[in-house]
Amino acid sequence: MTMSKEKKDILLYSFTGLVILTLITFTGMRNSDRKVQDIDITIAQEDGNFFTDQLEVMGLMTIDASDFIVGSELSELNPKVLEERIEKNPFIKDAQVYRDLKGTLKVSVEQSKPIARVLINGDEDKYIATDGRILPVNAKHTARVPLLETTFEFGWEENLNESSYGSKIFELLQYVEASEFWRAQIAHIVVLEDGDVELLPQVTKQKIVLGKPENLDAKFSRLMIFYKEILPKKGWNTYSLVNLKYDNQIICE
């Protein structure tokens, strides 16, 4: 009996699928038996700041050299566990660990980015990250960010957003960070006991009374008018204070 073309095609496809499945399984078994030949660590740079380095990342992965990776079987390594070890460093926002076909363990690290340095009661020193997290001061590098000075904490422990007032201060920091002009101009942010905020600029000498950290678009728009229209006409050193606290007013003294 002659086999039909349809049956021949079915057998051919089945045989081809079986061969492919066998090759995939064989390749997977070979890769799982391979040893780690090398570790390649890449750290994404944040504005020229490096708050960690390859040696520190290696120490986190290997628990200070007590856990060997190079020479280990690929099948014995759990990338998720290694990522969690690396991310214990507060200055590391995210870590990705994966293996290539050559036996190299690839490690990609994204750093946390500070947007302000906080000085509490003139003593306790911390950073605020782009997601509001509180970071310790790092001896490896000092970030060039505005100084936020306050005599009280805003009811937070790990993140500025843990309190309503802390969230407002965080919105102010984000507003400054988002603008190239304000990021370069605002050097010092002072939080007063009543919750009002004062800004001290990098270049000009005027103290800027912002009031409560709210209605930021309107207040910074008036401040821009002060810089672009008032100072050029009256002179850069004419005023020592500009008050933006009251709606639709720019009070210069």
Same domain, 142 and 214: yes
C-alpha–C-alpha distance, residues 148 and 158, integer Å: 17
The whole-angstrom distance between residue 90's C-alpha and the CA centroid of its chain comes to 10
Residue 187 lies in a domain: yes
Q: Are residues 189 and 209 in the same domain?
A: yes
Strands 134-136 and 104-111, by their bridges, are: unpaired
Q: How confident is the model at residue 65 (pLDDT cuts 50, 70, 90)?
A: low
| Domain boundary, last residue among 111, 141, 159 | 111
Task: State the average pLDDT over residues 30-57.
Answer: 75
Q: Same domain for 90 and 173?
A: no
Closest C-alpha among 129, 140, 41 to residue 90: 129
> Of 180, 187, 244, which Cα lies nearest the Cα of 217?
244
Structure tokens at 188: 């010092």
Q: What tokens were used for 2?
A: 């002659």
> Is residue 5 domain-resident?
no
Contacts of 44 (CB under 8 A, 6+ apart): 108, 109, 110, 111
Residues 66, 188, single domain; the answer is: no
In this prediction, residue 15 carries a pLDDT of 44
Domain that holds residue 98: 38-111
Q: What is the CB neighbour count within 10 angstroms for residue 130?
A: 15
Cβ proximity of 104 and 148 under 8 Å: no
Pick the more confident residue, 79 or 191.
191
Residue 41's nearest CA partner among 24, 56, 51 is: 56
Do the domain assignments include residue 119? Answer: yes
Domain containing 94 — which CATH number? Answer: 3.10.20.310
Write down the pLDDT at residue 31.
47
pLDDT exceeds cutoff 80 at 10: no
pLDDT for res 8: 44
Domain termination residue (choose one: 68, 83, 111): 111
Alpha carbons 219 and 205: distance in angstroms, whole number: 19
Count of domains forming the chain: 2
**CATH number of the domain residue 152 falls in:** 3.40.50.11690
**Is 6 among the domain residues?**
no
Q: Last residue of a domain, which of 90, 111, 132?
A: 111
Residues, the chain: 253
